[in-house]
Chains A and B, each alone.
Chain A
Amino acid sequence: MIQEAVKSSSNSFIMLRAMVGIGVLCGFLIVVAYEGTLPRVQRLKAEALEAAIFNVIPGTTQTKTFNWDGESFTPAKAGDSPLVYAGFSDSGELAGVAIEASGQGYADIIRILYGYDPERQQIIGFYVLESKETPGLGDKIEKDQHFLDNFTAMDVSLTDAGEIANAIIPVKSGAKQHAWEVDGITGATISSRAIGNILAESTAEWIPRIFNHKSAFKQGNQ
Chain B
Amino acid sequence: MSSGTNHTEAKSTDEFIKGLWKENPVFVQVLGMCPVLAVSNTAENALAMGLATAFVLLMSNTLVSLLRNFIPKEVRIASFILIIATFVTITDYAIQAISVDLHKSLGAFISLIVVNCLILSRAEAFASKNTLGKSILDALGMGLGFLFALFCLGAVREILGNGTFFGLALFPDTFQEWIVMILPAGGFFTLALWLLIFNLIKQRKEATA
Query: Which chain A residues have a beta carbon within 8 Å of chain B's beta carbons?
Result: 11, 14-15, 18-19, 21-23, 26, 29-30, 33-34, 36-37, 40-41, 44-45, 47-48, 107-108, 130-132, 135-137, 139, 187
- For B161, the chain A residues whose CB sits under 8 A away are 136
B108 touches A187 (CB 8 A): no
B108 touches A15 (CB 8 A): no
B70 touches A21 (CB 8 A): yes
- For A30, the chain B residues whose CB sits under 8 A away are 86, 89-90
Query: Which chain B residues have a beta carbon within 8 Å of chain A's beta carbons?
Result: 39, 41-42, 45, 67, 70-72, 74-75, 78-79, 82-83, 85-87, 89-90, 93-94, 96-97, 99-100, 104-105, 107-108, 161-162, 179, 182-183
Q: Report how far A19 CA is from B71 CA in the complex, Å.
A: 8
Instruction: Knowing A30-B90, A33-B94, A37-B94 are in contact, say whether A18-B162 is a contact too (CB < 8 A).
Output: no
Q: Which residue of A lies closest to B73 (CB)?
A: A15
B42 touches A136 (CB 8 A): yes
Q: A-B contact count, CB below 8 Å?
A: 73
Contact of A22 among B82, B93, B182 (CB under 8 A): B82
Contact of A132 among B78, B82, B83, B107 (CB under 8 A): B107
Q: Report how far A66 CA is from B145 CA in the complex, Å.
A: 52
Q: Report how far A37 CA is from B71 CA in the complex, Å.
A: 30
In the assembled complex, the CB of A27 is this many whole angstroms from the nearest CB of chain B, namely: 8
The residue among A14, A15, A107, A187 with the most chain B CB atoms within 10 A of its own CB is A15
- For B104, the chain A residues whose CB sits under 8 A away are 130-131
Contact of A26 among B70, B82, B93 (CB under 8 A): B82
